[in-house]
Structure 1
């Protein structure tokens, strides 16, 4: 590793500085530290490290897989969730277990404290309180940062993870508009202006948050209760715990709490319709686009006028408060109108509003200005992650933070970047979508964005990614041992299913209980495990198998039941990987390749994809363009070889 460049009059020198300590920033800092880099994470308030600015929940469809992938690569979101989880649900239960999606409601305060504790277990990582005002540069290379307090820190690489703070502006109604990154915290202006002056294209997005209410003023007697399912699934978000989730005397997480379900009905919808012009989003105060799949309540009423009602979840914020998060009521209407809407909802007729909902506008930088390592193309050593790239969601931020931090740490040590293919992970899909296709609305992950959603699942994240983590030396010795044991368990479960036989008298009662055809003679367990009405855990119990973990059995069962589908996906993944192995230099003169269409030359020249696989996903590039591109590149390589000889 080269010597760290010393910035003039810098107080300290680091390999990596991370600006911001939300979900992207904390994962970036940990990932960089795990590469062996010296890391500082700088945030305006150390008390807000790991703050859940919006809904205190982790996971859900596609998002839960990202959490598990981040964990498999050494991240901390899964561990913090395990320590702070106060409610657990398994979504998508009406479908097969291959697409089940866990979701956890967290104690907001416990989550924040868990994240900070996990950061401080990293010996090469330091936390610093301050507000970064500007970057230090030498030419087009970043060399450090300076805070508004006048402190200077040198760095070989910098990761910016400022969330909604870059020129953030909070709106409540059409008359209340204040500068802020989130309620009660100042926006970041100087850094935003400097980035724009560098020539980065900057756009604006918006997002919103609902009101919070005092749970002591809610009439729960008329509401449906949604209890935690953690004991039904005995689920852990992290793969790396040495001890079980539950012992006779304690659980890893706090005591579980319920959520409650109610509805916005005609009375509330009428209030919104009558006051729609007072909404910041509909009254002209905001012109930016918001997340399509997390709409404001105003959007719901305007865009779905025939919907009879809209579901509302009342979600606990933590054990140390009676405050509830009103999920489904995100709004930028005036505070008095919000209170009227709340009072129209069943169970909330006498509710007290503790905090008004609001909308927030903020700067983001279209992510096609990044390469696949999440380094900016304009400034060497500068990386972006999280909402600054036009995404929405804690999990999407964490996935980007991990990749940016990992590559910033490696860049600081003169090592090659790490790029995850789409076939490896949802994180790979996320990053590839951002840098190749860009965004025109806040980007959110869905299973439909992946071509490999059966083989890229939350239960097999360790199987998919631990080899990469091991090769990059991201694990401690203890973590390596846990990962190896888990994979050995999966192998043992598959081996037992293939090798063990069961006799009719052992299993026919179980088959009858599950309305499955009896067997006339001994068969291998794997033959019965393929039946959709049977589960592998019950079959293992019949033959007296012990010592194999529940999680390993579930993964083995999915591999058995869906083997044909998985095999087809893996063939597609191998094909995509081969395309990814065809590298494209950033120096390719696309304008000279006249065999490509004009549109393809323009877009490829602008985006400069690093592989043929990435080029294939650029809008406007046809299959014939790809064939001609291969021929042009091969011809160019051959000509260079001839000249060299």
Structure 2
């Protein structure tokens, strides 16, 4: 049946699988996407939104590298917000609510229009090996499909177990069966596996809610978009979300069900996401808090379905029903689906290299929740990198790796393979030590030249980046060379409580003042004329403003990154024997032997490896 030997097989059609399939196919690799249900490609299993703190930066990086997530988000968005706008630009994070049904449909349509990509709907139940090399997969029907590389993006489906109160049943998602066989094959090959937990809240009927008792949460007045391409446009209409709160009454009703909660009665033994806890976990851990926020998120333009964000739970259905009715606006709520928890297999990501290829099995890649992460964005980023590297390996080309100072994606993968994770990993801006460099506004400037060189980014995309950089440089040069007279600028300075000037001053110095923004600077005639004459858009103006105001911080981080990269360039030989380096601490020897870092820089980030251990390694490597 499958006489073709594929270059890449992608197992799983979630966010990781979709990006992996698109990337490998777009790089010219003959790719097969196998998923249990083709109707659910890139389904938003949890909340109907993309982006958020740090996650929005990842989506823009995926876009800059030629991935599809941002384009799909823009085409299906129902609301857009730029979060943290009151803080510095390193913290600005785009977020969009999407129409969940249209999101999956648009992803499928885009994948079907991608050359070199085939599809097959069935469960993969086994992996085919020749010694320690993967050569294909086996399906539930017993069909063997051969491939030069395989990427596993199984999400929560590997031996998935769903919990609602005292009820437990197998499943990878509500209404879908769990995947069996893959974990068992990998464990036989020597892989270490573990269990993780995640949860989801109830879905309810919007017609049964009283929104007048809630706080409206509209989108931005002037919404932006995710993709840097001009093929997508900003929203002209938006749907509002709403916010309500739990209360002590709600908490007391929830506590009544704790004895039947799988989280508290010991039936769930795995670790859940620390930063997205269930409602029962929140009221247990934060017992002194009298209320918690509930975000009421529409699932699309026309559907009645509402996602009750903040009320994730695995409590019995009768407890969910009683407690949610005590939340303002939910008094007459009708449930479409009760919340549940799900346990699933994952593989500690220290078993991977920086390309996301496994260390034990050649040509086998892992991406997404199988690596212990949580979130669509983190999964999509890993899928993109795995897809790129699987295709490059088949083509005998150098691997593609992003450093920590180049992208949030680089931070994500470095954290996973060096530090590992014992709880679902979620990206935050605080995880990135170079977040002033890794802003959402400059992901195209940072990454599109790399993607263009790979063959993933189009000429149109690259031309946009070149134009943006050239116009930004031109505007900065103009500000450095052009002076403004006191009589023109002083009224603007006074209106913003900034010190007056007594003689002409360069615009760059004026624009750098923290009390002024570029809306004020554009009131100066020469600046307004320059912007009009050179057709500068908002992206260029924003880029210039950030450069002017944060030049010192950006330069400082670049210098720090250069120091890190010097250690990144000191390689450690493969399978290096750390036991012979007796001056290393015992803990360092154990950790280094297990993780096998590729560079001194990676070694320095391993928990338990001290600065003195790093110094010993540097001496040993002849530095």
TM-score range, shorter chain: over 0.9
In 2, distance between residues paired with 1:421 and 1:622? 21
Report deviation, 1:499.
Answer: 2.5
Report Cα offsets for 1:375-396 as digits up to 9, x if no partner: 1011100000100001111111
Contact 2:187 2:193 in 1 (8 A): yes
Report Cα offsets for 1:64-87 as digits up to 9, x if no partner: 111111111111111111111111
| Partner residue in 2 for 1:181 | 172
- Picking from 224, 247, 263, the partner of 1:235 is 224
- 1:191 aligns to 2:179 (yes or no): no
| Partner residue in 2 for 1:225 | 216
**May I ask how many residue pairs the two structures share in their alignment?**
617
In 1, distance between residues paired with 2:367 and 2:20? 8
In 2, distance between residues paired with 1:330 and 1:394? 17
| Partner residue in 1 for 2:274 | 292
In 1, distance between residues paired with 2:232 and 2:260? 53
Is the alpha carbon distance of 1:149 and 1:478 closer, same or farther for their aligned partners in structure 2, counting shifts above 3 Å? Answer: farther
Query: Structure 1 stretch 476-485 or stretch 128-137: which is displaced more?
Result: 476-485
- Picking from 1, 16, 40, the partner of 2:8 is 16
| Partner residue in 1 for 2:478 | 496
In 1, distance between residues paired with 2:36 and 2:488? 64
Is the alpha carbon distance of 1:154 and 1:500 closer, same or farther for their aligned partners in structure 2, counting shifts above 3 Å? Answer: farther
Contact 2:89 2:439 in 1 (8 A): no
| Partner residue in 2 for 1:643 | none
- Aligned ranges for residues 239-388 of structure 1 at < 5 Å? 239-242=228-231, 244-245=233-234, 251=236, 255-388=237-370
Please list every run of 5 or more consecutive structure 2 residues that lacks an aligned counterpart in the other structure: none
In 1, distance between residues paired with 2:331 and 2:232? 45
| TM-score normalised per structure 2 | 0.96
Report deviation, 1:473.
Answer: 2.1
In 1, distance between residues paired with 2:119 and 2:437? 38
| Partner residue in 1 for 2:53 | 61
Report deviation, 1:516.
Answer: 2.5
Contact 1:240 1:483 in 2 (8 A): no
| Partner residue in 2 for 1:72 | 64
In 1, distance between residues paired with 2:347 and 2:377? 19
Report deviation, 1:269.
Answer: 0.5
Report deviation, 1:620.
Answer: 1.7
Is the alpha carbon distance of 1:27 and 1:414 closer, same or farther for their aligned partners in structure 2, counting shifts above 3 Å? Answer: same
Report deviation, 1:243.
Answer: 6.3
Please list every run of 5 or more consecutive structure 1 residues that lacks an aligned counterpart in the other structure: 1-8, 636-645
Report deviation, 1:178.
Answer: 0.8
In 2, distance between residues paired with 1:541 and 1:152? 68
| Partner residue in 1 for 2:444 | 462
| Partner residue in 2 for 1:160 | 152
- The residue matched to 2:441 in structure 1 has which SS? coil
| Partner residue in 2 for 1:147 | 139
| Partner residue in 1 for 2:98 | 106
| TM-score normalised per structure 1 | 0.93
Contact 1:11 1:151 in 2 (8 A): no
Contact 2:26 2:115 in 1 (8 A): no
| Partner residue in 2 for 1:640 | none
| Partner residue in 1 for 2:588 | 600
Query: Structure 1 stretch 356-365 or stretch 559-568: which is displaced more?
Result: 559-568
- The residue matched to 2:225 in structure 1 has which SS? coil
Query: Structure 1 stretch 220-229 or stretch 500-509: which is displaced more?
Result: 500-509
| Partner residue in 1 for 2:621 | 633
Report Cα offsets for 1:515-549 as digits up to 9, x if no partner: 33333333222111111121224424522222112
In 1, distance between residues paired with 2:361 and 2:190? 10
The alignment's C-alpha RMSD in Å is: 1.6
Is the alpha carbon distance of 1:601 and 1:245 closer, same or farther for their aligned partners in structure 2, counting shifts above 3 Å? Answer: same
- 1:532 aligns to 2:514 (yes or no): yes
In 1, distance between residues paired with 2:472 and 2:64? 16
| Partner residue in 2 for 1:612 | 600
Report Cα offsets for 1:357-377 as digits up to 9, x if no partner: 000000000001111111101
Report Cα offsets for 1:315-354 as digits up to 9, x if no partner: 0001231111000000001111111111111111011011
In 2, distance between residues paired with 1:311 and 1:102? 21
In 1, distance between residues paired with 2:566 and 2:285? 44
Contact 2:8 2:391 in 1 (8 A): yes
Contact 1:180 1:186 in 2 (8 A): yes
- The residue matched to 1:460 in structure 2 has which SS? helix
- The residue matched to 1:417 in structure 2 has which SS? coil
| Partner residue in 2 for 1:573 | 561
Report Cα offsets for 1:205-241 as digits up to 9, x if no partner: 0000000110001011111111111x42x41201122
- 1:42 aligns to 2:13 (yes or no): no
Contact 2:33 2:119 in 1 (8 A): yes
Report deviation, 1:37.
Answer: 1.5
- 1:562 aligns to 2:550 (yes or no): yes
